[in-house]
Structure 1
Amino acid sequence: MRLKFTKMHGLGNDFVVFDAIRQQVTLEAAAIRRLADRHRGIGCDQVLLVESARLPGTDFHYRIFNADGSEVEQCGNGARCFARFVRDQGLSDKDAIPVGTAAGAIQLFVEPDGQVRVDMGVPVLEPARIPFRAAKQALVYRLSVDGQEVSIGAVSMGNPHAVLLVEDADDAPVERLGPRLETHPHFPRRVNVGFMQVLSPEHIRLRVFERGVGETLACGTGACAAVVTGRLRGLLAARVQVSLPGGDLVIQWDGNGTPVLMTGPAQRVFEGEIEL
């Protein structure tokens, strides 16, 4: 099977994107792991599929696979690349593109300056829907990790996130706590782990350990989750600049019951074909 692909990135969070509308694409977990391998494959954090619409009122369906081959519900940086891809490939000429995902429908908006704004939907805070095992909903949850008590905020942006406050993002225990929290028994579907340093109410630094991938240069849903948890704790304003290792996103959240809006770049790197 020979497939055409496009390599893309959003702030260094990189993707291999396949048009599964104009070519037949069937990918097993082993093939995804090969594609993601940075030494023996193309190399990426996630593989994205652009498919025909499944949900009413949408133009496309968006599937996301982590580097370990697992399929996940949502990816914010990938969503921006999705919008750029369907425009570049002539699959859509719209500025507002409704897209279906495993977590439901989202809206993608291509701005005049080329940036992409994504309506990520209303954040989910109820523990059972994140999913997260907790007796009741709270602003802060305390978990035991290797005998150490860790305080987190928990939220779903279509995928589950745990967010920790840290004094300095550079010194955050990402490699130590990231994998332990990712597989913590309180998160039955694993979790993405964010380490947030608050610089001011309008500016944070963030590092994210993504489930099935490890630390990435940027995580769009992680940026959204961090702003939601920080705003709920009274630490952040409605509009926040999120500085990730790969660059900056702007996150807007007006509070409970309203959607989170994420704005940032999406870049095409190169196109090619691969034999699988």
Structure 2
Amino acid sequence: MSEHQHRKTAEYGYVRMNGAGNAFIVVDAMETPFRPSEDEVRRLASVEAALGGFDQLIAVEKAVDGDAFMRVWNSDGSLVETCGNALRCVGWLMLDATGKSEVKIDTMAGPTLARVAGDRDGLHQVTVDMGQPRLDWQQIPLAEEMDTRGIELQVGPIDNPLVHTPGAVSMGNPHVVFFTDRQDDVFVRGTGSLVEHHPLFPEGVNVGFANVLDRQTIRLRVWERGAGLTLACGTGACAAMVAASRKGLIDRSARMILDGGELFVEWDDATGHVFMTGPVEIELTSQFQSVL
């Protein structure tokens, strides 16, 4: 009998949610551990599967210190450090369940605080304290020392690159941000998939394409490491705002316009923390079975 046949199955409750269009399956793992293999995550992420596809799979577990621990898998099965939009979704679930005004959610990238920010356009808004951006080349990480305000990377001909000198920021996961008005699907998919696995990024990288419309507004598209082109990326929005501010293109806050909705991101002068506010939406609740 195979090892798989020896493993038991368990039934898990889940909530299908989106944060500005970023699609999540949030699994209740408070009582029963949820540790899917990469193959199982990929199978669950298939649009033909019962769950209907997702960008990230989220397990909400008991925390040693805090209200919950959030574990994140990308749709390709890879386990990642954190996810900004998922933090807002899990934050809303914990705020609603506990009745608190603020909850603490721990992740592999460290703890985060979430609080209610009212309603807008009929959707609940949640603010998450994403902490301080990590700006040193070793923190992102890069394979070699560089000025992260504009790293030595370009795509296209040497004498006429299509994009070049992106800012590099870690928001608990690694990001590079190109500043360009070139944001069509073919360009974002082609460039994003190429840069994601560039040897300069030993852990892979999320790739942002930011068009600064004015000093308060950025149009952003993000190719997510392990998930591809998504409707929104919370850590990507934070990274793009920080990178734009470091280049002097904006001040310390911006309205971020993504394919799936809008986020407001502020880099606080006093604490150095980045705060992200945006909508969360519950689409359905159900159950599924998985092996233990």
Distance 1:144 1:238, change over 3 A: closer
Larger Rg: 2
Q: Which runs of 5+ in 1 are unaligned?
A: none
Question: In 2, distance between residues paired with 1:169 and 1:74?
Answer: 25
TM-aligned CA deviation for residue 5 of structure 1 = 1.1
Question: What code does the residue aligned with 2:12 have?
Answer: L
Instruction: Look up the match of 2:61.
Output: 51
> Greater shift after overlay, 77-86 or 244-253?
77-86
Question: In 2, distance between residues paired with 1:138 and 1:52?
Answer: 36
Question: What code does the residue aligned with 1:152 have?
Answer: P
Number of matched residues?
272
1:103 aligns with 2:109: yes
* Per-residue deviation, residues 43-89 of structure 1 (Å, max 9, x unmatched): 100000111113x4x2211111000111111111000110122244x
Distance 1:70 1:77, change over 3 A: same
Distance 1:256 1:141, change over 3 A: farther
Aligned with residue 197 of structure 1, among 199, 204, 211? 211
Distance 1:146 1:235, change over 3 A: closer
Q: Which runs of 5+ in 2 are unaligned?
A: 1-8
CA RMSD of aligned residues (A): 1.8
Distance 1:143 1:231, change over 3 A: same
> Greater shift after overlay, 31-40 or 228-237?
31-40
> Greater shift after overlay, 167-176 or 180-189?
167-176
Q: What is the DSSP-based 3-state SS (H/G/I as helix, E as strand, rest coil) of the residue aligned with 1:131? A: coil
Say if 1:122 and 1:260, in contact at 8 Å, map to a contact too: yes
Aligned with residue 218 of structure 1, among 229, 232, 245? 232
Say if 1:59 and 1:98, in contact at 8 Å, map to a contact too: yes
Instruction: Look up the match of 1:130.
Output: 140
Aligned with residue 93 of structure 1, among 88, 92, 99? 99
Q: Which runs of 4+ in 1 moved over 4 A?
A: 144-149
TM-score, with structure 2 as normaliser:
0.88
Question: In 2, distance between residues paired with 1:261 and 1:37?
Answer: 33
Aligned with residue 84 of structure 1, among 78, 92, 117? 92
Question: What code does the residue aligned with 1:163 have?
Answer: V
* Per-residue deviation, residues 149-188 of structure 1 (Å, max 9, x unmatched): 5321100000000000112434782111101110000000
* Per-residue deviation, residues 250-274 of structure 1 (Å, max 9, x unmatched): 0001359600000001111001112
Question: In 2, distance between residues paired with 1:112 and 1:246?
Answer: 19
Question: In 1, distance between residues paired with 2:257 and 2:17?
Answer: 20
TM-score, with structure 1 as normaliser:
0.93
Sequence identity, in percent? 40
Instruction: Look up the match of 1:233.
Output: 247
